[in-house]
Amino acid sequence: MPLTIAQARREERRDFSLTGVTVVYKGALTLGAIMTPARASLLLSTAIVPLAVAACQTVRKPLRGLDKPPPGSIVLDDLAGGTVVMWPMFDLPQTEQVFRSRLNGQDVVHVTSWEEGFYDYSEWSLLGWTGGRSGSLEKVKPDTYVVELVDSTGQSWGQSAPLAIPAVGAAGQLPAVVFAHFAGKVAAWNIDPATQDADTATDEITVTNLVDADVVVERCLISSGQPSSCTSVGSVAAGADLLTVETMADVSSKDDHQALVIHLASDASQSYQRDLLQAGGNLNFGSTCQMERIVVHGTRRVDDYYGPTTGNAFAMSSCYGYQSAPIELGDR
């Protein structure tokens, strides 16, 4: 494909899809089952092509991407910068659509070659039902940002409230944004670790109901993989939230333990189980998960275009996606 020249910015680039988003797909739907993404990171290296000019002079230009940041963009180049996690729940056609990340209304650009100083937009190719797939922007200069995803036409598919992104090395949970854009519902929720309480043994869990029916939240004993001795935590009407503070246990998922079981009031078979187990470090949220949102989106077929079909999902966690337990504990 020939190179095209954008005269307004005097930059050389090729028309193609790149991403600067680190992607993790958590699509496991049964306790202890783990799905390893075929492409855990979609950061692509940049090819360099030498261009002969002015007789003997050779100028190196990127075959892919940009030789300088576009005007008005935000460059992710702060090695001491922070990370923000994004969870899109979009219902898309079965053809790839490219989404671009924005911070404070500005396109995000990542460095594709530190040695040569080349760049490209941080973009994300998605298709089908996207729930359970998280992506992150890294090396973000510490500050407060509005996080946004826009499609190739510039239409916004979700925009967060202002969210503080701290420097790398700050212990604990990573800030995150959950986006919903499906079935006429458009919303975004911040996961802000700065608002968590001081008790590291508890998790503040908000259950958000986006289906048009009541949802029941129960706390159950999980023994031999089956729930029993359930007690009611509460019910959640359509469009409402329920906040509960739960104590996490430092045991294996194979041992008896407590879990939240979230299901339709009219059909208990449509459910999501969140095991109340402590977690170590995790790509999705950092070293702890003390602030969490579980979004009930209704039963959806989960098709991972990086791998095989994984089944049905009823709700998604902002820490674990469609998993019910931390990877480390689920593997014991």
Q: What is the DSSP letter of 172?
A: S
Q: How far, in Å, are 109, 214, 235 from residue 238 at the CA level?
A: 39, 6, 10
Q: What is the pLDDT of residue 200?
A: 83
Cα–Cα distance for residue pair 330/332, rounded to 1 Å: 6
Q: What is the pLDDT of residue 255?
A: 87
Cα–Cα distance for residue pair 66/118, rounded to 1 Å: 6
Cα–Cα distance for residue pair 318/247, rounded to 1 Å: 17
Reduce the secondary structure of 81-100 to three states and give it as a string. Answer: CEEEEEEEEEECCCCCEEEE
Q: What is the pLDDT of residue 89?
A: 97
- List, run by run, the mean pLDDT of 10-residue segments along the chain (332 residues): 33 37 44 32 40 48 66 92 96 94 96 76 92 92 97 96 88 91 96 90 95 98 94 98 95 88 97 87 65 96 61 92 69 44
Q: How far, in Å, are 13, 89, 110 from residue 181 at the CA level?
A: 31, 6, 26
Query: In sequence order, what are the residues at sequence separation of 6 or more whose Cβ sits closer than 8 angstroms to the Cβ of residue 144?
Result: 162, 163, 164, 165
Q: What is the pLDDT of residue 170?
A: 59
Query: In sequence order, what are the residues at sequence separation of 6 or more whose Cβ sits closer than 8 angstroms to the Cβ of residue 104?
Result: 74, 145, 146
Cα–Cα distance for residue pair 12/240, rounded to 1 Å: 49
**Cα angle for residues 175, 88, 325 (degrees, 5° grid):** 65
Q: What is the DSSP letter of 128?
A: S
Q: What is the DSSP letter of 105?
A: T
Cα–Cα distance for residue pair 310/131, rounded to 1 Å: 12
Identity of the residue numbered 112 = T
Cα–Cα distance for residue pair 124/178, rounded to 1 Å: 15
Q: What is the pLDDT of residue 15?
A: 31
The DSSP code sequence of 216-284 is EEEEEEEETTEEEEEEEEEEE-TT-EEEEEEEPB-S-TTS-EEEEEEEETTEEEEEEEEE-B----BTT
Q: Where are the alpha helices (DSSP H) in the chain?
A: 327-330
Counts for the chain of helices (H) and strands (E), in that order = 1, 26
Q: What is the pLDDT of residue 198?
A: 86
Q: What is the pLDDT of residue 239?
A: 96
